[in-house]
A and B are shown apart, each in its own frame.
Chain A
Amino acid sequence: MSAGRDPLAAAGAGPEGGAAAPAISIRGVRKVFASGGAEVVALDGIDLDVAPGELVCLLGPSGCGKSTLLNAVAGFAPPTAGTIVANGRPATAPGPDRAMVFQEYALFPWMTVERNVAFGLEMKGASRAEIRATVDRLLAMLHLRDFRARFPKDLSGGMRQRVAIARVLAIDPPMLLMDEPFGALDALTRRNLQDELLRIWAELGKTILFVTHGIEESIYLADRVVVMTYRPGTVKRIVPVTLPRPRDPASPEFNALKREVSALVMEEQALHEAAETSGAAGE
């Protein structure tokens, strides 16, 4: 597994930090939900740029709005205020340029692995030969070749998530949006898929916005970790991770970062718990 990325593969953009336009540009995003008569401010004043080919993790306690932000970028639930520009276009509706990988996999259970991976290509109107070639390539890349005729119910969670990743890679999107994709997996499978994701990312140079509540996961994967505050969700701190890949979670440098990020997250977690208990006491 190599940390070096082919700059040519990075969606036609130059090296990050250069003059290239960001892949995702989030400006002043605010999201308000109506919750039983009361209004809940889920996100407030979010400003964030993600460079092309960058891997950014959104990290925070549950309820901090990180998934809400991801859904807004995906175009599933537009923000109440503010703008999101992705791949040079306002992200007001879902589109195949921002492919989403869900924690629940969201594979179509009535389709075989092969049909699931082919689905997006069929939507594009790709030719039969092209579909076949792409599906073969991706099934090989994600070690799914022996499972092409299986239905999702016959696969383990890790396998299902591989299929889901292959399914979005099939449409060759410039960016992947991942919503706690490995959250439901056991620790070994998770590490395995994290490595797999890093390998694919290095190979294909996709921009990845990755939501997680795993501190170690975020440091293991990300170029930058965006730590969010608890309700309303704002950007608390952006922690750059410059450790070379592959990263060793047992190394002192990794652990120093982990302590730093943990402290930030725990502050928010404490606020979260205080809010829960006072809310419960008030009822």
Chain B
Amino acid sequence: MRRRALALARALVVPLLALAGWEAISDAGWVSPLLLPPPSRVFLRLLAYARPLEPFDPAAGSWLAWAFSGELPHDAMTSLTRVGVGFAIGAGLALPLGLLMGAKPFVHDLMNPVVQLLRPIPPIAFIPLAILWFGLGNPPAFFLISLGAFFPVLMNTIAGVRNVDAIYLRAARNLGASEWTIFRRVMVPAAMPYILAGVRVGIGVAFIVVIVAEMIAVNAGLGYRILEAREYFWSDKVIAGMISIGLAGLGIDLAMNRLNAWLLRWHRGLEG
């Protein structure tokens, strides 16, 4: 108990000192508060950003809906939905293709040149084309996000299938499994640690791409909001938005971690 309290205290020393220093610099007037607002103002702005806009009215809807009716929850939901949809499309295409490319050398030889050519192009570089092809709004964002998620999932799935220990295949064949069963019940689960590592990277990239995409082609979401705030010179809101983005990213990563730990509960790598 005492050790945990000490560890917590140690973890908080540097952040608190940094905040205090930041506050002191702003209060001393060394920099314009327009460029670097004090953390206290950022914090208040974050609260204002997160707070519901209207007072609670039981006639208008449930308490829960009211609590999440503020600008920040709305922006966060918008961005996370885009990540979700874009990621689902990208990973949904990458997974079967990766499994096929990993299992069938013929498909690998056929597809690999195109993959290797497209893979190094950052998804951001597709923005002009995305706007030409899909216009504004959600469609180009979905396109860019799915592109960002596609390659990490694809590459890891291929590697995962190719690295399946041959002894599992022999054992399955020896027990009378057909090729299709071996694929479904041996290769896919054996490749799962790789695939999930790819999924984690893919979601990370999707989250980067959503912020960038929102700065260009849409009018809602966390990325859009910080750019909008800059136009009004609300640097406190810019920073509050950045903190929100950080928290959303952290939330996604924690959720992924929990999911991975559960899906890979059989895996040795998670021991200790």
Contact = CB atoms under 8 A, between A and B. Distances in A.
A120 B175 contact: yes
B163 interface: no
Interface stretch (B198-206, B227-235, B260-268): B260-268
Nearest to A152: B266
A120 B192 CA distance: 22
Interface string B249-272: 000000000000000011110010
B177 interface: yes
B181 A108 contact: no
Given A110-B192, A153-B268, A98 B171 contact: no
B177 A123 contact: yes
B171 A151 contact: no
Contacts of B170: 76, 94, 100, 102, 106
Interface in B34-58: none
The number of chain B residues touching the other chain, given as a range, is: 20 to 34
Contacts of A96: 174-176
Contacts of A95: 174, 176
Contact size class for A?
Answer: 20 to 34
B133 interface: no
Nearest to B188: A110
Given A102-B167, A108-B186, A108-B189, A168 B175 contact: yes
Given A102-B167, A104-B167, A106-B168, A119 B175 contact: yes
Contact of B176 (A108, A110, A111, A171): A171
A76 B171 CA distance: 10
Contacts of B178: 123
A98 B173 CA distance: 11
B149 to A, nearest CB: 24
B190 interface: yes
A27 B192 CA distance: 43
B145 to A, nearest CB: 30
Interface in B178-224: 178, 181, 185-186, 189-190, 192
A99 B177 CA distance: 12
A123 B167 contact: no
A152 B165 CA distance: 16
Interface in A143-158: 151-153
B167 A106 contact: yes
Given A108-B186, A110-B266, A153 B271 contact: yes
A119 B174 CA distance: 11
A28 interface: no
Given A100-B171, A104-B167, A110-B189, A153 B176 contact: no
B265 A151 contact: yes
Nearest to A76: B170
A88 interface: no
A109 interface: yes
A106 B175 contact: no
Given A104-B167, A106-B168, A153-B268, A74 B189 contact: no
A124 B172 CA distance: 12
B168 A108 contact: yes
Contacts of B190: 108, 110
Contact of A153 (B173, B185, B267): B267
A108 B171 contact: yes
A-B pairs with lowest CB-CB distance, top 6: A120-B175, A96-B176, A106-B171, A123-B176, A151-B266, A110-B189
Interface of A: 74, 76, 94-96, 98-100, 102, 104, 106-111, 119-120, 123-124, 151-153, 167-168, 171
10 contacts: A96-B175, A99-B174, A102-B167, A102-B170, A106-B170, A107-B171, A108-B168, A108-B190, A110-B189, A171-B176
Interface of B: 167-168, 170-178, 181, 185-186, 189-190, 192, 265-268, 271
